[in-house]
Structure 1
Amino acid sequence: MNTGPGVLLVEDDKEIGALISRYFSSNDIDVSHVCDGAQMDAALSSRSFDLIILDLNLPGEDGLSICRRLRVDRNVPIIMVTARAEDVDKILGLEMGADDYLTKPFNPRELLARVRSILRRTSSAEPVPSLRQIYRFSGWTLDLAARDLSAPDGAKVALTGAEFDLLHALCEHPNRVLSRDQLIGLTHGPSEGPFERSIDTLISRLRQKIETEAKNPRLIQTVRSEGYLFSTQVTRA
């Protein structure tokens, strides 16, 4: 029995689904393959998964709608895959809450590498006691060990894996202008990150969650032609 990370594959092409399932299973990934949103909902009601691979073009409810719906109450990482290559589709997928985006056709090894990269970043490994694990800024608290964010009133604020990693990077470099390329490197690594505009999308999503006025941001400021500035004092404990 495979005891590796649990991945839910939502893919209506049975041949592609079988190929990915065989390849992932041979690499110690526990894969459950379903073909549409209804089957996905049934699978999620019966067990939890560490990551979802979601096809964009599905019968019935499409991947964008499913991703938006999942993000209402779930923080599970999502990799969206599709035959569409247009930037607008990638942007939409990321805006709906996807953590990464891969265009068909792709090598299963690349998909596996992206899955493992996200799982490494979102794993709940025991913290090393000597490392500072808590960041505090403007009343907010970012807990690296628990991978959660608490608002000034104590309420938990749900973040996707990509949003969490970006906020972590900003907390590590407060009051310093970071370019999009630098943010991609800090959050995904030089060879794993999506294209540059995904950072703008993630910044927009973060602003919606931590700014009092997302359209007039005080914490995450845009520095024209240069990048972004996390304008606040950050303490670590």
Structure 2
Amino acid sequence: MRLLLAEDDTVLADRLRTLLEEAGYVVLHSTDGSDAEYQGQVEDVAAAVVDLGLPGLDGLSVIERWRQAGRTFPVLVLTARSRWHDKLAGFDAGADDFLTKPFQPEELLLRLRALIRRSAGHASPRLSCGPLQLDVNAARFELDGVPLALSPQEYRILSYFMHHPDVVISRSRLGEHVYEAGFDPDSNTLDVLIGRIRRKLGSELIHTHRGQGFRLSAQP
């Protein structure tokens, strides 16, 4: 699952990027507002984290342009401003939630997961597909109640499937959400990773649709 992080503080951005990648996300990072606005227009992202004090184009303007262009992904705003009228301006621009600096990185992760769940229509923090369950808040899979050990890339693939059950997902779409850039759809890397996941699941949950992609379903 891809996220856009718009933050010009390189130290904070590195901390957040590491946190988000360890949680299974692919992170696109912008350090100025103009680039962030462009990335949000052309990239398929599940959510964005935006600092209001971006150089070039401020965060509020970035969010306004996204909304005017019909971009509906959830936006979590980072700000050093705690005044209510500043937050009101952010909500009016199209922000979905605010986090005031300084903050605990883990709180950002929890809020981001909640926004993504709501935008995808998932009210529950636990997703299920037959014997497989994903605890979204804990970023943990269980199979028949037993924790499932997955590599970061395996987690990203299976998490993306769990958020799109019974949907045939193409190789290129899946690859874009697992790798940051440069994915080769002709590579057999995805086949190897999905093969490993299938062996760990020990059941027929992931189905191959030749020429179309893959589907996660408890039904044949």
TM-score with structure 2 setting the length: 0.52
User: Considering only aligned residues, what root-mean-square deviation do their CA atoms show, in Å?
Assistant: 2.0
Cα offset, 1:44, TM superposition: 3.4
- Give the whole-Å Cα distance in 1 for the aligned partners of 2:27 and 2:37: 15
Cα offset, 1:93, TM superposition: 0.5
Cα offset, 1:38, TM superposition: 2.1
Q: Report the equivalent of 1:118.
A: 115
Change (3 A) 1:68 1:41: closer
Cα offset, 1:69, TM superposition: 1.1
Helix, strand or coil at the partner of 1:12 = coil
The answer to whether the aligner puts 1:80 opposite 2:73 as a matched pair is no
Match of 1:50 among 34, 38, 46: 46
Task: Read off the aligned partner of 1:30 and give its amino acid letter.
Answer: V
Higher RCO (CA-CA < 8 Å; seq separation 6+): 2
- Give the whole-Å Cα distance in 2 for the aligned partners of 1:69 and 1:34: 16
Q: Report the equivalent of 1:24.
A: 20
- Give the whole-Å Cα distance in 2 for the aligned partners of 1:47 and 1:64: 19
Runs of 4+ residues deviating >2 angstroms: 41-47
Helix, strand or coil at the partner of 1:71 = helix
- Give the whole-Å Cα distance in 2 for the aligned partners of 1:94 and 1:47: 23
Q: Report the equivalent of 1:94.
A: 91
- Give the whole-Å Cα distance in 1 for the aligned partners of 2:42 and 2:96: 23
Cα offset, 1:47, TM superposition: 2.4
Helix, strand or coil at the partner of 2:45 = coil
1:82-132, Cα deviation, whole Å (9 max, x unpaired): 111111111110111100011001111000000000111112679xxxxxx
Task: Read off the aligned partner of 2:11 and give its amino acid letter.
Answer: E
Change (3 A) 1:69 1:41: closer
1:175-225, Cα deviation, whole Å (9 max, x unpaired): xxxxxxxxxxxxxxxxxxxxxxxxxxxxxxxxxxxxxxxxxxxxxxxxxxx
TM-score with structure 1 setting the length: 0.49
Question: Percent same amino acid among aligned pairs?
Answer: 37
Cα offset, 1:80, TM superposition: 0.8
- Give the whole-Å Cα distance in 2 for the aligned partners of 1:57 and 1:99: 17
1:7-39, Cα deviation, whole Å (9 max, x unpaired): 100001011111000011111121111111222
Change (3 A) 1:63 1:45: closer
Q: Report the equivalent of 2:6.
A: 10
8 Å Cα contact 2:47/2:75 also seen in 1: yes
Cα offset, 1:46, TM superposition: 4.7
Task: Read off the aligned partner of 1:58 and give its amino acid letter.
Answer: L
Task: Read off the aligned partner of 1:34 and give its amino acid letter.
Answer: S
**Higher helix proportion (structure 1 or 2):** 2
- Give the whole-Å Cα distance in 1 for the aligned partners of 2:38 and 2:73: 16
In structure 2, runs of 5+ residues without a counterpart are: 128-220
Change (3 A) 1:42 1:95: closer
Task: Read off the aligned partner of 1:78 and give its amino acid letter.
Answer: V
8 Å Cα contact 2:6/2:36 also seen in 1: yes
Q: Report the equivalent of 1:107.
A: 104
In structure 1, runs of 5+ residues without a counterpart are: 127-237
Change (3 A) 1:57 1:33: same
